[in-house]
Amino acid sequence: MKIAVPKETRPGECRVALVPESCKKLAQAGYEVLVEAGAGAAAGFPDALYAEVGARLVPDAARLWGEGDLVLKVTAPQVTPVDEVARLRRGALLLASLMPTRHLDTVRALAAQGVTAFSTDAIPRTTRAQAMDTLSSMANIIGYKGVLIGALELGKYFPMFMTAAGTVLPANVFVIGAGVAGLQAIATARRLGAKVTATDVRPEVKEQIESVGGRYVGIELKHSAAAGGGYAKELSEEDKARQRELLAEQCAQSDVVISTALIGGVLAPKLISAGIVARMRPGSVIVDLAADGGGNCELSQPGRTIVTDNGVKIVAPLNLPATMPTHASVLFSRNLTNFVTTFTQDKAFHLDLNDDIQRAALITHDGAVVHEPTQRALAAAAG
């Protein structure tokens, strides 16, 4: 069975779906691994490293896509300006972080092409699936890099310093959301010496926040916000109002606000209103790490940095994992490899729609969209 690894073509994407170490492991499992020439160069993996582990380098992208029985990608295939989906042969398998509710045109095209497509961001958060979870791997990078951005943009030190000119107090950092990205943000800010406070709509994460050095603040919810699998769901209107009061109070006294909140790991709720930003101190910084999902701040402009009239800097970076492409690719590659090898039988990928992991991650199959959240998103778009 042939595994094909094309070069990522989305603007700014520097990661590669398989690094050489994973190619070697998959070859040992019985697969023939084809890699598009130059696919790993931007991540620090030149063609020579792939050749050393026995991967076959293919210079022509269209040929590579057409040969692949199982195509591994980082992001969803594009339908414009180049129609990558059309390059997939009918009946082929695709494994990538499709973010299907964000890429409905791609999903429609995959179904029409008869592709069996799995999305790693839909893999369930279970013990058995942990090693395949690209969302968590990339969220760790997002939380880490987001704090570094905040430290660079802030006109103050993060740690406390005692100098001949007097003592400099540590920066106050407020982290919204205590998923994987949020917890990494808390830990990184603490390592840099900041005083860190954090909140989450799931009160059960209080111990996790404290375990990485943060101080938990929260509201007592009238209705549970836990959606299972480590995700949060949308709050009731009553709880939203009480949450806004908490956020306004904490943001007003913070030097840096790091927002990481996503509903179901995909949709970014608008938590930081323009009114909250107006109460913040001049020179303070908001790093909106949910920008890929639309942003947690009402004033965020995804992909841009702006400064408000009252001097608050709002940074809304996109695709932060691509800014650390070497380790991001290594971790992503290991996740994909674990998915493939878990379901390998007789040197080929075994499709088993009764398996809970495959069933949850399956987006298109037999010419149809079978993933329920994506079906709802398509219906909403059509309506």
Q: Is 125 a catalytic residue?
A: yes
Average pLDDT over residues 109-122: 97
pLDDT of residue 97: 97
Using the predicted structure, report yes or no on whether residue 236 has a pLDDT greater than 80: no
Q: Same domain for 120 and 216?
A: no
pLDDT of residue 263: 84
Residues 6+ apart with CB under 8 A from 333: 16, 17, 18, 19, 21, 22
pTM for the model stands at 0.93
282 in Cβ contact with 308 (< 8 Å): no
pLDDT of residue 95: 98
Counting Cα atoms < 13 Å in the Cβ hemisphere of 253 gives: 8
**Token pair for residue 191?**
């390592």
Average pLDDT over residues 339-347: 97
> How many other C-beta atoms are found inside a 10 Å radius of the C-beta of residue 102?
17
Q: Same domain for 22 and 164?
A: no
Rounded to whole angstroms, what are the CA distances from 37 to 25, 60, 208, 334? 20, 8, 43, 20
> How many other C-beta atoms are found inside a 10 Å radius of the C-beta of residue 231?
17
**Token pair for residue 206?**
């209080």
Average pLDDT over residues 196-212: 94
> Which of 267, 290, 318 finishes a domain?
318
- The range of the structural domain enclosing residue 267 comes to 140-318
Lowest mean pLDDT of 106-115, 122-131, 149-158, 221-230, name the range: 221-230
Average pLDDT over residues 170-182: 97
Q: Is 231 a catalytic residue?
A: yes
Q: Same domain for 277 and 329?
A: no
Q: Same domain for 125 and 145?
A: no
From the candidates 28, 130, 211, 253, which is the catalytic residue? 130
From the candidates 10, 125, 242, 281, which is the catalytic residue? 125
pLDDT of residue 238: 76
> How many other C-beta atoms are found inside a 10 Å radius of the C-beta of residue 256?
28
pLDDT tier at 242, thresholds 50, 70, 90: confident
69 in Cβ contact with 95 (< 8 Å): no
pLDDT of residue 267: 85
- DSSP string of 175-197? EE--SHHHHHHHHHHHHTT-EEE
Q: Is 97 a catalytic residue?
A: no
Lowest mean pLDDT of 108-112, 161-165, 266-270, 355-359, name the range: 266-270
Q: Same domain for 115 and 230?
A: no
pLDDT of residue 31: 98
CA–CA separation, 310 and 134 (whole Å): 38
119 in Cβ contact with 96 (< 8 Å): yes
Residues 6+ apart with CB under 8 A from 170: 157, 158, 159, 160, 193, 194, 195
Q: Same domain for 103 and 235?
A: no
Question: What are the start-end ranges of the E strands in 135-276?
Answer: 161-163, 166-168, 172-176, 195-199, 215-216, 226-228, 231-232, 256-259
pLDDT of residue 204: 86
Q: Same domain for 252 and 336?
A: no
Q: Same domain for 188 and 284?
A: yes
Average pLDDT over residues 248-263: 96
Using the predicted structure, report yes or no on whether residue 9 has a pLDDT greater than 80: yes
Mean pLDDT of the chain: 94
Residues 6+ apart with CB under 8 A from 372: none
Lowest mean pLDDT of 53-67, 187-201, 255-269, name the range: 255-269
What is the number of structural domains in the chain?
Answer: 2
Rounded to whole angstroms, what are the CA distances from 61 to 24, 36, 82, 340, 341? 21, 6, 11, 22, 25
Average pLDDT over residues 55-74: 97
- CATH code for position 210: 3.40.50.720
Lowest mean pLDDT of 11-15, 183-187, 198-202, name the range: 198-202
Q: Is 133 a catalytic residue?
A: yes
Q: Is 250 a catalytic residue?
A: no
Burial of 246 (0-12, 13-18, 19+ CB in 10 A): middle
> Which of 318, 333, 349 finishes a domain?
318
Of 358, 340, 351, nearest to 31 (Cα)? 340
pLDDT of residue 383: 81
One-letter amino acid of 262: L
Of 225, 221, 216, 237, nearest to 261 (Cα)? 225
Average pLDDT over residues 304-313: 98
Q: Same domain for 61 and 199?
A: no
pLDDT of residue 233: 57
**Token pair for residue 69?**
């029985």
Counting Cα atoms < 13 Å in the Cβ hemisphere of 102 gives: 18
Q: Same domain for 300 and 368?
A: no
Q: Same domain for 236 and 344?
A: no
Q: Same domain for 283 and 334?
A: no
> Which of 296, 318, 340 finishes a domain?
318
From the candidates 224, 231, 301, 359, which is the catalytic residue? 231
pLDDT of residue 36: 98
pLDDT of residue 223: 59
CA–CA separation, 22 and 42 (whole Å): 17
Of 187, 174, 183, nearest to 202 (Cα)? 183
From the candidates 97, 119, 136, 137, which is the catalytic residue? 136
Using the predicted structure, report yes or no on whether residue 347 has a pLDDT greater than 60: yes
Using the predicted structure, report yes or no on whether residue 304 has a pLDDT greater than 70: yes
Average pLDDT over residues 102-131: 96
One-letter amino acid of 267: L
Secondary element (H or E) of residue 247: helix 237-252
Average pLDDT over residues 272-296: 97
